[in-house]
């Protein structure tokens, strides 16, 4: 027995190119306003990394007709709000009491249409400083915090937009020019490159009417051309990074199918059956039975241009990364040869279905219904993808999971990164090259 | 014909939508277990919250971490099920299971699809009340917790939390993290865990909240079928003490402490002191005061340290509400070079709100609005509702509490804010903790006017 899970909606495109999606859910008197711009760090270039995210900060500093901090009027109206940038998109959202819906639309449309007149060099400089602090707090001053930077740099060639992380290089951030803000805004922040989702206590027709009122007169822009880039790893790359950590950790990374491409859902299922929960193959072996590791995790990092599959495990005190990596390889080989068991597939599907259901519990915020509708619309051009998305997991078979493991998790095309306590490079996998990130 | 927007002013807000908290039905099972049910439609999901009085505050002296390791042992096997089997059974119903060991209570959460509600309840009941507590599992779990404790020494916020609690509560059961201390974890025995379990997981200390897309009758029937047979024998084991009743030593800790972290890119800061109990009648005024000072993005502190000076990615203040006296604290992570100035700015802001620069009418209205207008969104998800109902029991609040909240916050005046700032904030008692580069900050820190600077090792 399965549960039918749907996410009903209506969509229209305004004459200026803005996609508007409305989903009604009248249980709680709140509305989620969720706005995506199809721009992220993948639209940056070498030497200018971190710009898309710094720009997101500037979007909260005021616009022509409300020339002050973005938070004040909205918090005063009871809104919860935030924004985020990743490699592929930038999103902004407010969850407002129904009574403050128009205020949120006014504010979002004002910064979409009229940001530049309010932008000053001083605001730019302050936010540059804030972002440098964000980088120190979340990367430089955090154990293992530089791992993804080192892995991305090794997986993707220097000109590939996934070579760098969204936070950017500190040097690039310091070198950023205020003048670059203008062209970035004109290129990416306009209706044709955006998608607006309204979810919650709102009538569908009223939603479209309000969207037209607030966003209808913002001039259309030109849809930016999409970014294409290829990346592959032709051998096994072994790296070591010394860090302020107590215990060594090994990361294994492979290129994997792009978001929604064939094999992407299988990547999620593989991650689950390898490392999610005590029943997973690697947890059971490394942590439960042999007690060689403190933890193990796996993740199919799905992205627009190309994904990577990431495994990581922290050694228990006195245990060797080499032996941990050898056991991981053994289990991967087993999966590539024999595929998962029937019961592992059942369990994986049960969890996937439940998680789809749990995501429907909230209208707003990161990952809520409004955010999902925009994700489908921006990445698939069609918000009606909820059923298809879940269907990918329902259609996966033992054979398709085995084939994905065999095709993508190859031992001779991957990056292995050892993070070890300072001064203990000998704890890394043999043959690892020192790598420096800053 | 579509009207175009008037950009000369912000649109007016509509009337605040009325907020009704759903009905909370009270039940008591034959074994004395208190059950609360709430019907919550929309998504076919059911959440169980089992709240057990005690929490980390019930840890005996020299056994810090006992409540947490006991809670951790409960998904390690029951009856014929091994730890692996339990994990498998949870996964098969797509359940999310987690445990939170708080200061005054331990809270077990299980959320599953409504069609699996009966199976989920039965599994939870077996896990909680008939855990296997095998030796081998205990040794493995203990070692994992010791290793995790060691890893926490890498993590500045965790190092700061740990040291700060010790400074706030010297020799008090609230003065440690749930995970405990290395010495206590090494000393604890499986028998002590078994006894602590027997003394705490008893119907008289428990409350079960069930929220989901079913009727009250169905929800309580599921609860009764799964939990009705549970009996705890309190005669055998004494119930652990309650931390809220233990006297607190308010003034013996040093005022300025540094935990050295050479070459750290930032300083992790904690500033605060013990301040208020959750049952204070000033609770609504304290929430408003906190919002103005540092509880939200547009607060005085965040605007100064982030938006004006770019010292930090963000700064927040807050009360850590407990049954006993809890701290008011500022937490942030700042650029190393800005460490001392961030501390003095923070003390100035605390002090100014006490009278020098009282809350303005605008600040008051922003704070009240941000606490009240968006209030309904706190009850959107079944788990939020269940946790909220649990809070009512934990802090002895009436069922009408949530519906009265908005009115009480809106009744707070600017004079109330000044008064509670004067009563509950005291810059001269603030304990300041810095986890950061000692060499780079020492000179400026010693000029802040604290009598002396103490140094603590990161492992505590």
Q: What is the C-alpha separation between B317 and B290, in angstroms, rounded?
A: 7
User: Model confidence over A207-265: pLDDT tens digits?
Assistant: 999 999 999 999 999 999 999 999 999 999 999 999 999 999 999 999 999 999 999 99
CB B322 within 8 A of CB B174: yes
Q: Which residue from B451, B287, B288, B272 is spatially nearest to B350, judged by alpha carbons?
A: B272
Q: What is the C-alpha separation between B271 and B267, in angstroms, rounded?
A: 12
**Is B315 inside a domain boundary?**
yes
Nearest chain B CA: its distance from A303 CA (Å): 25
Domain map (residue ranges) of chain A? 10-215, 236-434
- Count the Cβ atoms, other than its own, within 10 Å of residue A344: 22
- Count the Cβ atoms, other than its own, within 10 Å of residue A83: 18
CATH number of A10-215: 3.30.830.10
Q: Which of B240, B272, B291 is the last residue of a domain?
A: B240
**Is B427 inside a domain boundary?**
yes
* pLDDT of the residue at A437: 87
CB B364 within 8 A of CB B292: yes
Check CB contact under 8 Å for A361 and B382: yes
SS3 label, residue A309 = strand
The pLDDT > 70 percentage for chain A reads: 99
CB B363 within 8 A of CB B292: yes
Stretch A317-325: mean pLDDT, rounded?
98
State the architecture of A236-434 in CATH terms.
2-Layer Sandwich (3.30)
> What secondary structure letter does DSSP report for A137?
I
Q: What is the C-alpha separation between A248 and A322, in angstroms, rounded?
A: 11
Residue B213 and residue B76 share a domain = yes
What contacts 24+ positions apart, CB below 8 Å, involve A258-262? Answer: A258/A302, A258/A303, A258/A304, A258/A305, A258/A306, A258/A307, A259/A302, A259/A303, A259/A304, A259/A307, A259/A379, A260/A302, A260/A379, A260/A380, A260/A389, A260/A392
Check: complex ipTM more than 0.85? yes
Residues of A in Cβ contact (< 8 Å) with B372: 78
Stretch A367-383: mean pLDDT, rounded?
95
Q: Can you give the residue range of the structural domain that contains B101? A: 25-240
Give Cα separations from A77 to A104, B372, B373 (angstroms): 9, 9, 6
- Count the Cβ atoms, other than its own, within 10 Å of residue A139: 20
Q: What is the C-alpha separation between B273 and B425, in angstroms, rounded?
A: 8
CB A38 within 8 A of CB A83: no
Residues of A in Cβ contact (< 8 Å) with B310: 125-130, 132-133
Residue B332 and residue B224 share a domain = no
Of residues B4, B310, B376, nearest to A97 (C-beta): B376
- A249-256 and A307-315 beta bridge pairing: antiparallel
Nearest chain B CA: its distance from A342 CA (Å): 13
Residues of B in Cβ contact (< 8 Å) with A110: 7
Nearest chain A CA: its distance from B239 CA (Å): 32
Residue B273 and residue B236 share a domain = no
SS3 label, residue A183 = helix
User: Model confidence over B319-375: pLDDT tens digits?
Assistant: 999 999 999 999 999 999 999 999 999 999 999 999 999 999 999 999 999 999 989
Q: Which of B191, B210, B240 is the last residue of a domain?
A: B240
Q: What is the C-alpha separation between B61 and B181, in angstroms, rounded?
A: 11
Q: How much is the pTM?
A: 0.95
Q: What is the pLDDT along chain B (460 residues), one digit of tens a residue?
A: 456 789 999 999 998 888 889 999 999 999 999 999 999 988 999 999 999 999 999 999 999 999 999 999 999 999 999 999 999 999 999 999 999 999 999 999 999 999 999 999 999 999 999 999 999 999 999 999 999 999 999 899 999 999 999 999 998 999 999 999 999 999 999 999 999 999 999 999 999 999 999 999 999 999 999 999 998 755 445 555 667 777 887 777 899 999 999 999 899 999 999 999 999 999 999 999 999 999 999 999 999 999 999 999 999 999 999 999 999 999 999 999 999 999 999 999 999 999 999 999 999 999 999 999 989 999 999 999 999 999 999 999 999 999 999 999 999 999 999 999 999 999 999 999 999 999 999 999 999 999 899 999 877 5
Q: Which residue from B126, B107, B120, B110 is spatially nearest to B51, judged by alpha carbons?
A: B107
Q: What is the C-alpha separation between B197 and B148, in angstroms, rounded?
A: 23
Q: Which residue from B401, B409, B332 is spatially nearest to B367, judged by alpha carbons?
A: B409
Q: What is the C-alpha separation between A404 and A383, in angstroms, rounded?
A: 27
Check CB contact under 8 Å for B10 and A80: no
* pLDDT of the residue at B345: 98
* pLDDT of the residue at A295: 97
Stretch A188-202: mean pLDDT, rounded?
97
**Is B302 inside a domain boundary?**
yes
Residue B147 and residue B86 share a domain = yes
**Is B12 inside a domain boundary?**
no
User: Model confidence over A82-107: pLDDT tens digits?
Assistant: 999 999 999 999 999 999 999 999 99
**Residues near A234 by beta carbon (within 8 Å), at least 6 away in sequence:** A413
Q: What is the C-alpha separation between B431 and B99, in angstroms, rounded?
A: 31
CB A239 within 8 A of CB A416: yes
Q: What is the DSSP string of A238-271?
A: EEEEEES-SS-EEEEEEEEPPTTSTTHHHHHHHH
Side-chain-facing half-sphere of A273: CA atoms under 13 Å = 26
CB B32 within 8 A of CB B99: no
Residue B297 and residue B435 share a domain = yes
**Is B58 inside a domain boundary?**
yes
Residue B422 and residue B310 share a domain = yes
Check CB contact under 8 Å for A133 and B333: yes
Q: What is the C-alpha separation between B418 and A115, in angstroms, rounded?
A: 38
Of residues A3, A71, A78, nearest to B369 (C-beta): A78
pLDDT at residue A2 above 80? no
* pLDDT of the residue at B225: 97
Per-residue confidence at A3, pLDDT binned at 50, 70, 90? Answer: low
SS3 label, residue A220 = coil
How many interchain CB pairs under 8 A, A with B? 225
Q: What is the C-alpha separation between A319 and A287, in angstroms, rounded?
A: 12
User: Model confidence over B14-32: pLDDT tens digits?
Assistant: 988 888 899 999 999 999 9
Helix or strand (DSSP H, E) at A331: helix A321-338
CB A375 within 8 A of CB A303: no
Residue B227 and residue B191 share a domain = yes
pLDDT at residue A4 above 80? no
Closest residue of B to A99, CA-based? B14
SS3 label, residue A36 = strand
Check CB contact under 8 Å for A65 and B7: yes
CB B93 within 8 A of CB B79: no
Helix or strand (DSSP H, E) at A188: helix A180-188
CB B23 within 8 A of CB B40: no
CATH number of the domain that B71 lies in?
3.30.830.10
Residue B431 and residue B407 share a domain = yes
Q: What is the C-alpha separation between A435 and A419, in angstroms, rounded?
A: 10
**Is B18 inside a domain boundary?**
no
Residue B116 and residue B207 share a domain = yes
- Count the Cβ atoms, other than its own, within 10 Å of residue A6: 10
pLDDT at residue A52 above 90? yes
Of residues A133, A214, A346, nearest to B5 (C-beta): A214
CB A204 within 8 A of CB A24: yes
Check CB contact under 8 Å for A350 and B296: no
Q: Which of B205, B240, B275 is the last residue of a domain?
A: B240
Residue B316 and residue B225 share a domain = no
**Is B460 inside a domain boundary?**
no
Q: What is the C-alpha separation between B70 and B65, in angstroms, rounded?
A: 8
Q: What is the C-alpha separation between B436 and B455, in angstroms, rounded?
A: 11
- Count the Cβ atoms, other than its own, within 10 Å of residue B215: 12
Residues of B in Cβ contact (< 8 Å) with A131: 313
Q: What is the C-alpha separation between B391 and A312, in angstroms, rounded?
A: 37
Nearest chain B CA: its distance from A209 CA (Å): 7
Q: Report phi then psi at B304, rounded to 5.
A: -75, -55
Residue B30 and residue B118 share a domain = yes
The number of residues making up chain A comes to 438
**Is B5 inside a domain boundary?**
no
Residues of B in Cβ contact (< 8 Å) with A103: 10-11, 13
SS3 label, residue A303 = coil
* pLDDT of the residue at B67: 97
* pLDDT of the residue at A1: 47
Q: How many domains does chain B have?
A: 2
**Residues near B189 by beta carbon (within 8 Å), at least 6 away in sequence:** none
Check CB contact under 8 Å for B91 and A347: yes
Side-chain-facing half-sphere of B383: CA atoms under 13 Å = 16
CB A413 within 8 A of CB A234: yes
SS3 label, residue A209 = helix
Q: What is the C-alpha separation between B6 and B21, in angstroms, rounded?
A: 36
Dihedral sign (CA B184, B187, B193, B199)? negative
Check CB contact under 8 Å for B376 and A28: yes
Residue B281 and residue B212 share a domain = no
The number of residues making up chain B comes to 460
DSSP collapsed to 3 states, chain B: CCCCCCCCCCCCCCCCCCCCCCCCEEEECCCCCEEEEEECCCCCEEEEEEEEECHHHHCCCCCCCHHHHHHHHHHCEECCEEHHHHHHHHHHCCCEEEEEECCCEEEEEEEEEHHHHHHHHHHHHHHHHCECCCHHHHHHHHHHHHHHHHHHCCCHHHHHHHHHHHHHCCCCCCCCCCCCCHHHHHHCCHHHHHHHHHHHCCHHHEEEEEEECCCHHHHHHHHHHHHCCCCCCCCCCCCCCCHHHCCCCCCCCCCEEEEECCCCCEEEEEEEEEEECCCCCCHHHHHHHHHHHHHCCCCHHHHHHHHHCCCEEEEEEEECCCCCCEEEEEEEEEEHHHHHHHHHHHHHHHHHHHHHCCCCHHHHHHHHHHHHCCHHHHHCCHHHHHHHHHHHHHCCCCCCHHHHHHHHHHCCCHHHHHHHHHHHCCHHHCEEEEEECHHHHHHHHHCCCCCCEEECCCCC
* pLDDT of the residue at A5: 78
Same CATH fold, A236-434 and A10-215? yes
């Amino acid at each position: 027995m399965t549960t039918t899970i749907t996410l009903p909606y209506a969509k229209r495109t305004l004459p200026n190119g803005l996609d508007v999606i409305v989903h009604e859910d009248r249980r709680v008197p709140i509305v989620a306003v969720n706005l995506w711009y199809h721009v992220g760090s993948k639209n940056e270039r070498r030497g200018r990394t971190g710009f898309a995210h710094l720009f997101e900060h500037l979007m909260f500093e005021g616009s022509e007709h409300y020339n002050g901090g973005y938070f004040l009027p909205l918090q005063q109206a009871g809104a919860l709000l935030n924004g985020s940038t990743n490699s592929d998109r930038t999103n902004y959202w407010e969850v407002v009491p129904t009574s403050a819906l128009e205020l949120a639309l006014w504010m979002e449309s004002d910064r979409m249409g009229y940001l530049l007149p309010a932008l000053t060099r001083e605001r730019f400089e302050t936010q540059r400083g804030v972002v440098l602090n964000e980088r120190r707090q979340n990367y430089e001053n955090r154990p293992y915090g530089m791992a993804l930077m080192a892995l991305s740099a090794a997986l993707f060639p220097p000109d590939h937009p996934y070579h760098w992380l969204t936070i950017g290089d500190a040097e690039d951030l310091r070198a950023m020019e205020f003048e670059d803000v203008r062209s970035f805004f004109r290129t990416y922040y306009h209706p044709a490159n955006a998608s607006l989702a309204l979810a919650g206590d709102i009538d569908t027709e009223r939603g479209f009417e309000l969207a037209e009122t607030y966003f209808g007169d913002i001039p259309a822009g030109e849809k930016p051309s999409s970014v294409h880039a290829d990346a592959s790893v032709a051998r096994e790359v072994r790296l070591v990074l010394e860090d302020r950590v107590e215990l060594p950790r090994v990361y294994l990374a492979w290129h994997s199918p792009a978001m929604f491409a064939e094999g992407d859902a299988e990547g999620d299922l593989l991650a689950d059956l390898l490392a999610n929960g005590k029943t997973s193959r690697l947890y059971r072996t490394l942590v439960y039975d042999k007690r060689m590791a403190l933890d193990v995790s796996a993740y199919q990092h799905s992205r627009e241009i190309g994904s990577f599959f990431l495994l990581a495990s922290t050694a228990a005190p006195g245990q060797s990364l080499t032996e941990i990596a050898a056991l991981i390889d053994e289990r991967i080989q087993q999966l590539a040869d024999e595929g998962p068991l029937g019961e592992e597939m059942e369990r994986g599907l049960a969890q996937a279905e439940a998680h789809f259901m749990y995501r429907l519990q909230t209208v707003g915020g990161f990952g809520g219904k409004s955010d999902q509708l925009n994700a489908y619309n921006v990445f698939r051009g069609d918000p009606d993808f909820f059923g298809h998305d879940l269907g990918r997991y329902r259609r996966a078979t033992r054979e398709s999971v085995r084939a994905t493991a065999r095709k993508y998790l190859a031992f001779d095309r991957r990056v292995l990164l050892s993070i070890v306590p300072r001064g203990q490079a000998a704890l890394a996998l043999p043959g690892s090259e020192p790598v420096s990130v800053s | 014909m579509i009207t175009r927007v008037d950009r000369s002013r912000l649109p007016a807000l509509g009337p605040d939508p009325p907020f009704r908290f759903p009905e909370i039905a009270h039940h008591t099972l034959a074994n004395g277990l208190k059950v609360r049910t709430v019907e919550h439609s929309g998504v076919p999901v059911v959440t169980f919250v089992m709240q057990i009085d005690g929490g980390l505050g019930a840890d005996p002296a020299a056994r810090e971490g006992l409540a947490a390791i006991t809670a951790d042992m409960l998904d390690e096997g029951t009856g014929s099920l091994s730890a692996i089997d339990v994990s498998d059974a949870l996964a098969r119903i797509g359940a999310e299971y987690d445990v939170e060991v708080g200061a005054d209570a331990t809270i077990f959460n299980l959320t599953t699809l409504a069609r699996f509600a009966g199976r989920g309840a039965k599994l939870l009941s077996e896990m909680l009340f008939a855990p296997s507590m095998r030796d081998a599992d205990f040794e493995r779990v203990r070692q994992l917790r010791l290793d995790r404790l060691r890893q926490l020494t890498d993590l500045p916020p965790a190092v700061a939390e740990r040291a700060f609690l010790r400074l706030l509560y010297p020799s008090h059961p609230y003065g440690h993290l749930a995970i405990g201390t290395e010495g206590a974890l090494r000393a604890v025995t499986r028998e002590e865990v078994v006894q602590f379990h027997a003394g705490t997981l008893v119907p008289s200390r428990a409350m079960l909240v069930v929220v989901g897309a079913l009727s009250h009758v169905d929800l309580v029937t599921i609860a009764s079928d799964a939990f009705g047979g549970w009996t705890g024998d309190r005669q055998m084991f004494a119930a652990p003490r309650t931390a809220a009743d233990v006297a607190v030593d308010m003034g013996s800790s040093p005022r300025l402490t540094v935990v050295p972290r050479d070459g750290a890119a930032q300083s992790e800061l904690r500033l605060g002191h013990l301040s208020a109990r959750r049952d204070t009648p000033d609770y609504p005024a304290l929430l408003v005061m906190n919002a103005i000072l540092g509880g939200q993005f547009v607060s005085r502190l965040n605007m100064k340290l982030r938006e004006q000076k770019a010292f930090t990615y963000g700064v927040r203040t807050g009360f850590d509400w407990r049954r006993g006296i809890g701290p008011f604290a500022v937490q942030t992570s700042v650029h190393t070079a800005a460490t001392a100035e961030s501390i003095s700015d923070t003390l100035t802001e605390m002090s100014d709100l006490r009278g020098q620069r009282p809350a303005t009418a605008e600040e008051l209205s922003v704070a009240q609005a941000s606490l009240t207008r968006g209030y309904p969104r706190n009850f959107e998800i079944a788990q939020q509702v269940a946790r909220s109902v649990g809070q009512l029991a934990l802090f002895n609040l009436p069922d009408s509490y949530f519906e009265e909240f908005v009115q009480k916050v809106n009744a707070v005046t600017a004079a109330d804010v000044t008064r509670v700032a004067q009563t509950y904030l005291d810059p001269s008692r603030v304990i300041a903790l810095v986890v950061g580069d000692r060499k780079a900050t020492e000179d400026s820190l010693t000029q802040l006017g604290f009598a002396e600077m103490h140094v603590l090792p990161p492992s505590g």
